[in-house]
Chains A and B, each alone.
Chain A
Amino acid sequence: MRPFDYQRPDGLDHAALLERDGGALIAGGTNLLDLMKLQVETPDTLVDINRIGLDELEPTDDGGIRIGALVSNSVCAADPRIRADWPVLSRAILSGASGQLRNKATTGGNLCQRTRCYYFMNIDMPCNKREPGTGCSALNGRNRIHAVLGANENCIATYPGDMAVAMYALDATVEIAGPDKASRSVKIRDFHRLPGDMPQRDNVLEPGEVITGVTLPAPVGGTQLYRKVRERSSYAFALVSIAAVIRMEEGAISHASLAFGSMAHKPWHDPRIDAALTGAKPSDALFDKVADLLLENAEGYGENDFKIPLARRTVKAVLREATGAST
């Protein structure tokens, strides 16, 4: 680990200023400290925001809930309101990492976690995300865990998390404070980025901006599933994951919202899929159409080719279960 200056800001504004001047925010630190040990991250200043509040879940006026940026993953997943009204979020969080890591990991930090691409984490290898312009080693390398959607020759890394996938399905909003007391909210579906020609940027946060919380809209009910396919049944990242919120009325789908993890540089949400499902009667043909829409532009890079048929089978299985279809 490179030496750094350790700072504890006295509040949000102070944290934003230190961040704007190049400091790295640390909350749970389970990803950042790992990357600092590997010298992938080498901040001059570490800004410890653990004592500035932002650690409550509170109801919003319209029946939703606001999860403070520093609420731990464990506390969020165990919150009785989340378990009852937004269970897909509890399930997604609980499917990730381990009890120890979830106790430290925070809501804001989880959103900002970096890819687990082997080359990104190895400073001896070229990587456009870590060192723009050096090339993507995964393109023709070991890419079993890499993206099949929305990638390009600049970067085929995936966003590896689970929590955010559920938040995409729930149409959450990220609340962000900026320097000089400015604040804005961004739909979570617009928060993370595709690599484009700036793979070094994972999300839309600007220097000096700090996530203060995530807001979930009022509960929509229905069946909520999080299906995670991985190499071992616990304590492993997803190869493909799906968060599904499906409500049925009189044999037809009255509400549908699907999001997909570990398939792209960001959790994947395609509004055409939700539209195709909404109002339709469940059938194998319908589920095939959903898989077609999802995988329309899918591209494998060798070792990860299997993700394409895996995603097709997984989405169909999830839809069968969520709609109660016997097909």
Chain B
Amino acid sequence: MKLAINGTTRTFDGDPRTTLLDFLRRDCDLTGTKKGCDHGQCGACTVLVNGQRINSCLTLTVMHEDDEITTIEGLGTPQDMHPLQSAFVDHDGYQCGYCTPGQICSAKAMLDEAKAGWPSVVTEDLTAEIDLSGDEIRERMSGNLCRCGAYSNIIDAITDVKEAAR
């Protein structure tokens, strides 16, 4: 079975119990994606599957034949950072950094969701255009916990990237 990870085709024929998270970290050596809770409660393992953010700890690799997976390593490199990566550096959007790859992958997809007009539970008028206020960003990023509590700087970093994209 084949799937694409950061644009590279990989083959998987391992134990069907292997989560996408374990496959990435153990078999592909892509240790940017982190395991926090392994139960869908923290968001540290967030990756993009065909552009959508999901928790890689709660999905099996074997279910992803022909899917395109993007991890933090696929978003940018130290030499060529993604705008969100630069913004997190500029704003100190972390302390220990453990939640950061998940935060950034999540933020990338979250901005795309807003651009596609997806509402959130704090969107007052469900049929109006989406305006990503601080409250909107906080709600939409609530699936990513930060044990260091870098939240306010994370919001600032994401807000910067959102403004720049306008």
Contact = CB atoms under 8 A, between A and B. Distances in A.
A94 B53 contact: no
A99 B40 contact: no
Interface stretch (A76-84, A200-208, A260-268, A304-312): A76-84
Interface string A4-17: 11100000000000
B143 A235 contact: yes
Given A29-B63, A34-B40, A91-B126, A104 B55 contact: yes
A313 interface: no
A33 B143 CA distance: 18
A234 B40 contact: no
Nearest to B59: A29
A74 B112 CA distance: 13
Interface SS majority for chain B: loop
A37 interface: yes
B139 A234 contact: yes
A29 B113 contact: no
Interface in A66-100: 74, 77-78, 80, 83-84, 87, 90-91, 94-95, 97-100
B118 A74 contact: yes
Nearest to B116: A78
Interface string A145-161: 00000000000000000
A100 B141 CA distance: 9
Contacts of A46: 16, 60
A37 B39 CA distance: 8
Given A37-B38, A83-B126, A94-B121, A100 B59 contact: no
Nearest to B19: A33
Interface string B122-145: 010011000000000011111110
A66 B106 CA distance: 30
Contacts of A37: 38-39
Contact of A103 (B52, B123, B142): B52
Nearest to A74: B118
A1 B54 CA distance: 20
Q: Which 3 A-B pairs have the closest CB atoms?
A: A98-B143, A234-B142, A6-B16
Interface of A: 1, 3-6, 26, 29-30, 33-34, 37, 46, 48, 50, 74, 77-78, 80, 83-84, 87, 90-91, 94-95, 97-101, 103-104, 234-235
19 contacts: A4-B16, A5-B16, A6-B60, A26-B63, A29-B63, A33-B59, A74-B52, A74-B113, A83-B126, A83-B127, A94-B119, A95-B121, A99-B109, A100-B46, A100-B106, A100-B143, A234-B121, A234-B138, A235-B143
